[in-house]
Amino acid sequence: MQFDFDALTPAQQRAASNVAVNQDLGENPAVLARLEELGVLTSYEENQGGQPPLVVKRYAMPVRVHMAWCEWCSRAEAHG
């Protein structure tokens, strides 16, 4: 599967970059949901504990996407 990261909005690119380095908290939920729809991200629930328990929706970038993302980032950096 090919990913056209150039087609992502700046907000989507920033969110994808943050998720790629495990910094998904604080991103716009609608942006993260759209990236999940596009197949760039996956989501999972993380139990933060406490009473009552706090369950947070977290996002991750699948390895195959992460590899393509890193390649895209390196090309983007090389071209300024």
d(Cα 37, Cα 71) in Å, to the nearest integer? 22
Average pLDDT of the segment spanning 57-74: 93
Tell me: the pLDDT tens digits for 1-47?
A: 678 899 999 999 999 999 999 888 789 999 999 999 999 999 999 99
d(Cα 26, Cα 37) in Å, to the nearest integer? 19
d(Cα 55, Cα 44) in Å, to the nearest integer? 10
> What is the SS3 assignment for 7-46?
HCCHHHHHHHHHHHCCCCCCCCHHHHHHHHHCCCCEEEEE
Number of domains in the chain: 1
**Residue 71: which domain range?**
5-78
Tokens of 56: 């947070």
